[in-house]
Structure 1
């Protein structure tokens, strides 16, 4: 579904992932964890792939990570993104959970456009910190700021 306010895709929220989006709306980055064995998992799902337990909890993360990969789509694959090109799409591995990787965009601030960061500034391994952007319809998504080192 495309968000008419800023021309972005909005997430489809399912029962397993609903808590992720509820925490994001509060400005918290949380990841599902198995309440039995402690393994973190993303994307959220009902059963632990390690111990098969159906018990889960949501652990707060620091919001810090590193760019694991990125791409600059040329041309934008979706018409709603054409006006924001060139923009980035990044995969971020979380510092405290390197096997957990989230997809998003590096921006200059929480409400900034997807093209607000010069693509030349992006590097694999660059430190980033989560910020949260409210889209239309009450949906809040994590985005990423480059941290100065």
Structure 2
């Protein structure tokens, strides 16, 4: 089974739709207010199933990064950087994405989300230096 294009499931499909429209959102529990990502049916804090989407600014800091040699996109074989970003809006949340900077990222570097259309109706949430725009 191919990892590309991403295969949205029941919980993630609305998130992928939002990203395609240029919106980054997380779930907010209606019961306790906990913000969470990735999308899932239950709140880890209070176990309720009632939540709403809350748009947040896609920004954070680089926690770590790797060079991936695994080709997920058909026709692409070149290595690429994947960053692990700690979201500013949800400090306990780590999000992964492709690096769109001109140079390798630095630990704790401030970054901003970049919406990247990659074809096949897919838009990805990538990351670049916050001062790049």
Normalised by the shorter chain, which TM-score bucket?
0.7 to 0.9
Matched, 1:25 2:20: yes
Residue 95 of structure 1 corresponds to: 88
TM-score normalised by L of structure 2: 0.87
Which structure shows the higher helix fraction? Answer: 1
> Number of matched residues?
129
> Which runs of structure 1 show a deviation greater than 2 angstroms over 4 or more consecutive aligned residues?
77-82
Can you give the 5+ residue segments of structure 2 that lack an aligned partner in the other structure?
none
Which structure shows the higher strand fraction? Answer: 2
How many Å separate the matches in 1 of 2:85 and 2:20?
20
Q: Write out per-residue CA displacement over residues 83-132 of structure 1, whole angstroms, 9 at most, x where no aligned residue.
A: x32x2011111111111111101114xxxxxxxx332xx11100110110
Alignment of 1:68-83 (within 5 A): 68-73=63-68, 76-78=69-71, 80=74, 81-82=76-77
Matched, 1:118 2:113: no
How many Å separate the matches in 2 of 1:96 and 1:72?
26
Can you give the 5+ residue segments of structure 1 that lack an aligned partner in the other structure?
3-8, 109-116
Alignment of 1:1-149 (within 5 A): 1=2, 9-73=4-68, 76-78=69-71, 80=74, 81-82=76-77, 84-85=78-79, 87-108=80-101, 117-119=102-104, 122-148=105-131
